[in-house]
Structure 1
Amino acid sequence: MSKVGIKTATNMDDLNSVINECYNYLELSGCLRHITALTDKYMLVEDILVYHVIKRVQAPFESFKQGLKTLGVLEKIQMYPEAFCNILCHKPDSLSAKILKDLFTVHTLPNVPALGFWNSYLQNVEDGKSATTMEDILIFATGCNSIPPTGFKPAPSIECLHMDFPIGNKCNNCLALPITSTYKKFQENMDFAIRNTLRLEKEKRSHYNGH
């Protein structure tokens, strides 16, 4: 079943076809509704999201709450929420040059000059001497603006390729670095590619959500 297929349907025939394919799922999840216009697809997508994000986890969540009540923990959490926030809520660590350097596994020869440029680039970003931020680099390579509590799978990696600009492969968390003759060119190409890629992705999301 594909929610994307429902949202991107451009006519009633396509929409009804997708709904028929997913009929059993929609009926079991309580999302089946009578569709009379193409715009009804947005309500259907919202129903599916509510089911997955809220309704499907309601029973396990209530069970979890009952368990906390057993020893009076839930009452204490409700009385002192700020005190329990640091214990129960994950707060991402601030990204630094060292953290990003250690995060990425190098899948290339260690004597490639681009690796030295990469280390210098991270330090310049941390020092505010770049048009990008640590978060920009992580998003470009993995799609995440912080390191998940359980880490990445697969682990982020770096490779160096004979090309002018870097490439971020979010499917396998791989960052391909360009091989340039000077550090200045390396930084210019990194800044240009990362900033423009993130800008285009943001514009694309805004356009998609607006429709």
Structure 2
Amino acid sequence: MSKVAVFSPSLQINTATTVADLKSIINECYNYLELIGCLRLITTLSDKYMLVKDILGYHVIQRVHTPFESFKQGLKTLGVLEKIQAYPEAFCSILCHKPESLSAKILSELFTVHTLPDVKALGFWNSYLQAVEDGKSTTTMEDILIFATGCSSIPPAGFKPTPSIECLHVDFPVGNKCNNCLAIPITNTYKEFQENMDFTIRNTLRLEKEESSHYIGH
């Protein structure tokens, strides 16, 4: 089985375009799918959606069940679990991470400048962040972070790699979620910069949401 199949079988299966392709991918991942108990009979291309759900269900729920039960047993040792169950609100701030509210300052400091910067473009970027914070944009701080990193808030352990910015001679911004990199356009005017940022971020997230809804629906 290939290295890609080990780490991203769900992605391979989800992108299959024919039943033949789907069966070929399943053959390649056979041992892995058998190990996690997700083998199923495939008769139509739409069967891939249920197969992907099975795989995700294993990794998100079944795989963590044993460690979770072990964690609960540890909490029972001194009666901590019973106290948590009796007073959940009191323990919420201790055990649960509360995402930090995003601001122009936080995002400006979060994204480091990558490669040789363009002074005017960086000025537009900072002005754009302030406009978003002031509600003068159709996007939000969370939208910008999702577009660049895939996350709507800053993880407790931070990002790896650190989010960065590139200034490129392109018409529209480009978000690279694999590298947490945001390429911002070099434009002549701030108006053009904001319109291009708003348009791209808004429509990209809308399309991603529609694709996600379609995927879940199947």
- Could you tell me the TM-score, scaled by structure 1's length? 0.88
Match of residue 206 from structure 2:
199
How far, CA to CA, are the matches of 2:189 and 2:18 in structure 1? 53
The answer to whether structure 1 residue 117 and structure 2 residue 135 are counterparts is no
Q: 1:203 to 1:54 in 2, by over 3 A?
A: closer
Match of residue 43 from structure 2:
37
Q: CA deviation at 1:139?
A: 1.2
Unmatched 5+ stretches in structure 2: none
The answer to whether structure 1 residue 73 and structure 2 residue 73 are counterparts is no
Q: CA deviation at 1:100?
A: 0.3
Match of residue 84 from structure 1:
91
Q: 1:164 to 1:111 in 2, by over 3 A?
A: closer
Match of residue 106 from structure 2:
99
Correspondent of 1:179 among 163, 168, 186: 186
Letter in 1 for 2:112: T
- Could you tell me the TM-score, scaled by structure 2's length? 0.86
Corresponding residue SS for 1:159: strand
Match of residue 140 from structure 1:
147
Q: 1:134 to 1:11 in 2, by over 3 A?
A: closer
CA RMSD of aligned residues (A): 2.1
- Of structures 1 and 2, the larger Rg is shown by 1
Q: Deviations over 1:112-156 (max 9, x none)?
A: 111111111111110111111111111111111111111111101
How far, CA to CA, are the matches of 2:189 and 2:47 in structure 1? 55
Q: CA deviation at 1:40?
A: 4.2
Q: 1:20 to 1:84 in 2, by over 3 A?
A: same
Corresponding residue SS for 1:144: coil
How far, CA to CA, are the matches of 2:49 and 2:114 in structure 1? 44
How far, CA to CA, are the matches of 2:139 and 2:189 in structure 1? 19
Between stretches 145-154 and 163-172, larger displacement belongs to 163-172
Q: Deviations over 1:158-180 (max 9, x none)?
A: 12112222221112111112122
The answer to whether structure 1 residue 58 and structure 2 residue 36 are counterparts is no
Correspondent of 1:128 among 100, 122, 135: 135
Q: Deviations over 1:30-89 (max 9, x none)?
A: 2234x1622544443333222211221111111111111111111111111111111111
Q: 1:193 to 1:68 in 2, by over 3 A?
A: same
Aligned pairs, number: 210
How far, CA to CA, are the matches of 2:189 and 2:35 in structure 1? 60
The answer to whether structure 1 residue 17 and structure 2 residue 24 are counterparts is yes
Unmatched 5+ stretches in structure 1: none
Identity within the alignment, %: 80
Q: 1:42 to 1:208 in 2, by over 3 A?
A: closer
Letter in 1 for 2:165: I
How far, CA to CA, are the matches of 2:21 and 2:209 in structure 1? 28
Q: CA deviation at 1:104?
A: 0.4
